[in-house]
Chain A
Amino acid sequence: MAFVELEGVTRSIDLPDGGRLDILRGVDLRLEIGDHVSIVGRSGSGKSTLLNLLGLIDTPTSGRLEFDGTPLDELDAGERDRRRGRDVGFIFQQFNLLPGRTALENVVTPLLYATGTQFWKRDKIAREMLERVGLGARASSTPDQLSGGEQQRVAIARALVRGPRLILADEPTGALDVETGATVMELLDSAAEQAGAALITITHDPNVAALASRHYRLDGGVLHEIASDHVRSLAATGATL
Chain B
Amino acid sequence: MKAGLWAAFVGAVVEAWAELRIHKTQVLLSLIGVGVAVTALTGVVAAGSIATQATVEGFERGSGRPATVAVWAYNPVTGEQPSKTDLDVAFATAMERYGVTYTNRTMYGGLSVQFPDGVMGISAFGVDQPYGAMHRISLKQGAWFTDRDALRLAPAIVVSEEIWERLGSPDLRVDPTIGIVTPTGTVDAIIIGVTPKQSLDGTYLQAYMLNDDYDAFAPPQDPNYPQLPNYEAWVPPEAADQLLPILQRDIAAALGEGWQVDVQRQDYLAWQVDDPLLVPKIVITGIAILVMALGALGLLNIALVSVRHRIREIGIRRAFGATAGRVFFSVMMESVVATFVAGLAGVLLAIVLIRNPLTESLLALYIQDIPGFPIEAALIGLGAATLVGALAGLLPALVAVRVKVIDAIRY
Pick from B10, B313, B326, B409: contact of A98, CB under 8 Å: B313
Contact A110 B321 (CB under 8 A): yes
Contact A105 B406 (CB under 8 A): no
Instruction: Mark contacts of B381-409 with chain A using CB atoms, 8 A cut-off: 1 yes-contact digit, 0 otherwise.
Output: 00000000000000000000000011001
Asked, given contacts A57-B405, A58-B406, A92-B409, whether A112 binds B319 with beta carbons under 8 Å apart, the answer is no
* Interface residue ranges of A97-156 to B (CB < 8 Å): 98-101, 105, 109-110, 112-116, 119-120
Pick from B22, B323, B405: contact of A100, CB under 8 Å: B22
Q: Which residues of B contact A90 (CB under 8 A)?
A: 319-320
Complex Cα gap A90–B324 (Å): 18
Residue of B whose beta carbon sits closest to that of A142: B22
Interface residue? A232 (CB, 8 A): no
User: Which residues does B use to contact A, with CB under 8 Å?
Assistant: 3-4, 7-8, 10-11, 14-15, 18, 22, 312-313, 316-326, 405-406, 409
Residue of A whose beta carbon sits closest to that of B11: A112
Asked, given contacts A57-B405, A96-B409, whether A112 binds B15 with beta carbons under 8 Å apart, the answer is yes
Pick from A55, A81, A98: contact of B324, CB under 8 Å: A81
Chain B interface main SS type = helix
What distance in Å separates the Cβ of A34 from its nearest Cβ neighbour in chain B?
Answer: 22
What distance in Å separates the Cβ of B25 from its nearest Cβ neighbour in chain A?
Answer: 12
Some 13 contacts from A to B, beta carbons below 8 A apart, are: A57-B405, A81-B326, A84-B319, A85-B320, A92-B409, A101-B22, A109-B320, A112-B15, A112-B322, A113-B317, A113-B320, A113-B322, A158-B320
User: Which residues does A use to contact B, with CB under 8 Å?
Assistant: 48, 52, 55, 57-58, 77-78, 81-82, 84-86, 90, 92, 96, 98-101, 105, 109-110, 112-116, 119-120, 158, 162
Contact A112 B324 (CB under 8 A): no
Complex Cα gap A47–B4 (Å): 35
Chain A interface main SS type = helix
Complex Cα gap A82–B323 (Å): 7
Asked, given contacts A81-B324, A85-B321, A113-B11, whether A52 binds B406 with beta carbons under 8 Å apart, the answer is yes
Q: A52-B406, A58-B406 are in contact. List 13 more A-B contacts (CB 8 A).
A: A52-B405, A81-B321, A81-B324, A82-B323, A84-B320, A90-B320, A96-B312, A112-B14, A112-B15, A113-B11, A114-B7, A116-B3, A120-B7
Complex Cα gap A96–B322 (Å): 16
Q: Which residues of A contact B322 (CB under 8 A)?
A: 81, 85, 112-113
Complex Cα gap A90–B320 (Å): 7
Pick from B18, B320, B326: contact of A105, CB under 8 Å: B18
Q: Which residues of A contact B14 (CB under 8 A)?
A: 112
What distance in Å separates the Cβ of B17 from its nearest Cβ neighbour in chain A?
Answer: 11
What distance in Å separates the Cβ of B12 from its nearest Cβ neighbour in chain A?
Answer: 8
Residue of A whose beta carbon sits closest to that of B21: A100
Most chain A CB neighbours (cut-off 10 Å) among B316, B318, B325? B316
